[in-house]
Chains A and B, each alone.
Chain A
Amino acid sequence: MSLVSAEFLIFILISAGGYYLIPKRGQWIWLLAFSYLYYLSSGVGVVFFLLSGTLTTYVAGCSLEMLERSVGDTEIEKGTKKRKKKRVLILTLVFNFGILGILKYAGFFVENINLVFHTGFSFQTVLLPLGISFYTFQSMGYLLDVYWGKCKAEKNVFRFALFVSFFPQLLQGPIGRYDRLVEQLYRTHSFSMERIGFGAQRILWGYFKKLVLADRAGVVVNQVFQNYTDYMGITVMVAVLCYSIQLYADFSGGIDVVLGTAELFGITLDENFKRPFLAVSITDFWHRWHITLGTWMKDYVFYPLSLSKGMSRFGKWSKKRFGKKTGRVLPICAANIVVFLVVGIWHGAAWKYIVYGLYNGVLIALASLFAPVFRKGFEWTHIDPKSFGWKIVRIIRTFFLVNISWYFDMALSLSAAVTMIKNTVLGFRISALYDGTLLQLGLDRLDYIQLLIGVAVLFAVGILQEKGIRIRERISSYPLLIRWGIWMILLFSLPFFGYITAGKGGFIYAQF
């Protein structure tokens, strides 16, 4: 059931309507039932994966807490307890990430083994169970929190099942945290017209991004990236820019629908985007783009890896070898590159994603490593790094670097990405902008105008949000005629300006 479908709208209408009509005590059970119903709509078989993830994590969480509470004050007993806890943790992590790994990456491994050893193994690729990456990451985050004592284990298996399966976030995140969700999911919620209105407005905004911008920009992206050998220079650049629009509008639009839906139930999920194209560095970009994946990686991979014994030894060695300052940063840079390698692999089973991850990781590591050199550079050139002008330069530079990463993210393969980069530079011809080349990519002049207006609206909203203005609250303070006018324009922009075709696909991040 796609987020952009009449079925989904009917589904949220019934589930949210009933939520406020039934006795409040049963609201979370109602949500659980509808979450599983939503999941069942994608196939009965896939529920097995959701259930196995839920049950193993639930049992492991309870076991960890029981072990923690078990009596044992001597050093030996403490050591035994620690070992047992570690065993439970590792077993559950291996089981859950193992399922995800086999389903997502076995085909890739078999393909590469065949390539290297000239063997003929085959692996039947199966369709990934709905949202498996998202709920696996979410539940494993919970388990690590219990292991570290950051939160208490959930004792009620049904309540835990709701935390894992809450249907709005099942499809494409955000990856929720137990400590922030637990109280909201199980608390009773009274009907609030204001909240329902805000939720509906956010859903509408998400649909605007998806239908008016993402699906329209996607036409150029598909045409050029699928037939990459046919296009050169500016045409490829336009396609990459369109991919920036498509990916952001698609993913953040989907998240708007998810967050808006959750708001209908009185639940505030974590934000996943904060104006990423206003980022001043790649580090800043990852603080604004797919935020919940970034913070998950930081808390559960980056910190543990950086604080591991191996990294500590590497840190001591590098301090001796390269001096205190550089030596201190080197192990952190190494851990950061590993994290982005994982981020790349998370995006998919292909070498291009590994390069995509490494590209980001290496850029961030270099920026950190050379930070003292940059500081000296500012002193010599008398450039004020905090000035508005320099900020604009940094935003443009970051946007350029991010767009280079899209070649690897979207191209058909690693070699296709390299060819496209080469073609962009070698086949640069300014006349492509006005000689009609761009009108042969599937969009007409009006489409480009609509795309530009849509981007301008998105940009203006982004600037206002960046200034701390809360758009929906601000609009709700306007006179009735103006506020309804704004929402009606947005609503009617969907049938009039939405790029609606018969055979449309779903959201990009729904396939993770």
Chain B
Amino acid sequence: MEKLIEILEDIQPDADYENCTTLIDDGILESFAILSIVGELEDEFDISITPAEIIPENFNSAAALWAMVQRLQNE
């Protein structure tokens, strides 16, 4: 999780990743940032993220992102 927060802050600073649960709904993360995050997560956690995974439910919070990473690691 710490590594994830580090990636998020590197790509898109100025957001409260610990508490925010509306990263997509409030437009904090936009498409360029989302794809940068996807690229970093794929490299860092050795997972493959498909377009089907890019939905607000998976990207609205750091916790949701972390849950997606763990799920994809187990698949």
Q: Which residues of A are at the interface with B, using a C-beta cutoff of 8 A?
A: 148-150, 283, 287, 298-299, 302-304, 306-307, 312, 315, 328-329, 331-332, 335-336, 368
Contacts and interface: CB of A to CB of B under 8 A. Distances in A.
B30 A283 contact: yes
B73 interface: no
Interface string B32-72: 10011011101000000111101100000000000000000
Nearest to B38: A307
B32 A298 contact: no
Given A307-B51, A328-B36, A332-B32, 17 more contacts: A148-B51, A149-B52, A299-B51, A299-B54, A303-B51, A306-B35, A306-B38, A307-B50, A312-B42, A315-B39, A328-B11, A328-B39, A329-B32, A329-B36, A332-B35, A336-B32, A368-B32
B36 to A, nearest CB: 5
Nearest to B11: A328
Interface of B: 11, 27, 30-32, 35-36, 38-40, 42, 49-52, 54-55
Nearest to B14: A386
Contacts of B32: 329, 332, 336, 368
Contacts of A315: 39
Contacts of A329: 32, 36
Contacts of A283: 30
Nearest to A333: B32
B28 to A, nearest CB: 13
A93 B57 CA distance: 27
15 contacts: A150-B52, A150-B55, A299-B54, A303-B35, A303-B51, A303-B54, A306-B38, A307-B35, A307-B38, A307-B51, A312-B42, A331-B39, A332-B32, A335-B35, A336-B32
A307 B49 contact: yes
Contacts of B35: 303, 306-307, 332, 335
B31 A148 contact: no
A325 to B, nearest CB: 9
Contacts of A302: 31
Contacts of A331: 39
A148 B39 contact: no
Sorted nearest first, the 8 A-B pairs with minimum C-beta distance are A148-B52, A303-B51, A304-B51, A332-B35, A306-B35, A368-B32, A303-B54, A328-B36
A99 B47 CA distance: 38
B36 A148 contact: no
B30 A148 contact: no
